[in-house]
Amino acid sequence: MSDFSSDEQGTGSDAWSGQVAVITGGADGLGLALASRLARRGVFVALWDIRSDKLEKAAQRIGAMAIAQKVDVTSAGQVQAAAAALRAKHARIDILANCAGITGKTNIKSHEVDLADFDHVMNVNLRGSLIAFQAVIGTMLERNYGRILHVASISGKEGNAGMLAYSTSKAAVIGMTKVQGKEYAETGIRINAIAPAVIRTEMVAMLPEEQVRYMTDKIPSKRCGTMEEFASAAEFIVSPRNSFTTAFTFDLSGGRAVY
């Protein structure tokens, strides 16, 4: 999945050359793992994140193939400005990976959910993904090419007890992916989602241990996924090689997914 045969037209390593990617939540975790992998393929990556300290370190870690742009994905103004600055310099955006996400308060029943926290999770996970999509889709339409990846979650398919806001937001991301993939299917733009089970990221590490145990126990493989496994799957989804599949949610669940 990570190495493309050069004798397949449009799928060799040179097919990545000159491409520009936007990675939201790129300061660490899944976003940084994917950004690092794409940079090694020759893709210039713009890391969008609200955390300045981590963001600069992430860009330095990748090197000359990365730029750090402090962006709050819930702010349409900030997102549009960052996209405009990127287009002004590179004249193209080929890839968008919406990796920014938060869990909100967890390990609580639905009647205990704080509405402000619920709104915040929906704002980042769903609305933020839509805002980023709207900021880049015009450039992709002009070139009749693009790859968009929305990071969903297995909890968006099955629901995780104690995670109402997060599960609801990720179910909505899957629904959005289905709509967008169909709307742009006749163009050269492919829009898909990925639904990981538990990946050992910093965000997961911040969850209560009983919440992590509840999620991991549901995985037939009896282990968490790795960031390398995520990056490998995500790389294919946003690659030139993925030329037909759109409006689809790829599972990365260790056997947990049932549909």
Structural domains of the chain sorted by starting position, each given as residue range(s) with its CATH number in brackets: 15-252 (3.40.50.720)
Cα 145 from Cα 176, distance rounded (Å):
19
Tell me the mean pLDDT in the region 119-128. Answer: 98
Q: What angle do CA 163, 168, 151 make, to 5 degrees?
A: 95
DSSP β-bridge partners for residue 95: 21, 147
Share of the chain above pLDDT 90, in %: 78
Tell me what pLDDT residue 13 has: 59
Active site residues: 166
Residue 70 CB partners (closer than 8 Å, separation 6+): 49, 50, 52, 55
Q: Minimum mean pLDDT among 23-37, 43-57, 119-133, 206-220: which range?
A: 206-220
Tell me what pLDDT residue 201 has: 72
User: In the predicted model, is pLDDT for residue 172 greater than 70?
Assistant: yes
Tell me the mean pLDDT in the region 201-222. Answer: 74
Reported as a pLDDT band with limits 50, 70 and 90, residue 198 is confident
User: In the predicted model, is pLDDT for residue 75 greater than 90?
Assistant: yes
Q: What mean pLDDT value characterizes the chain?
A: 91
Residue 101 CB partners (closer than 8 Å, separation 6+): 25, 124, 125, 151, 169, 203
Reported as a pLDDT band with limits 50, 70 and 90, residue 12 is low
Q: Are the CB atoms for 227 and 200 separated by under 8 Å?
A: yes
Residue 219 CB partners (closer than 8 Å, separation 6+): 197, 198, 253, 254, 255, 256
Q: Minimum mean pLDDT among 11-15, 174-178, 193-197, 251-255: which range?
A: 11-15
Tell me the mean pLDDT in the region 108-113. Answer: 97
Q: Minimum mean pLDDT among 8-22, 58-72, 177-191, 193-207: which range?
A: 8-22
Reported as a pLDDT band with limits 50, 70 and 90, residue 6 is very low
The pTM score is 0.90
Q: How far is CA 36 from CA 3, 17, 43, 110, in A?
A: 15, 15, 9, 38
Share of the chain above pLDDT 70, in %: 93
Tell me the mean pLDDT in the region 181-193. Answer: 98
Reported as a pLDDT band with limits 50, 70 and 90, residue 222 is confident
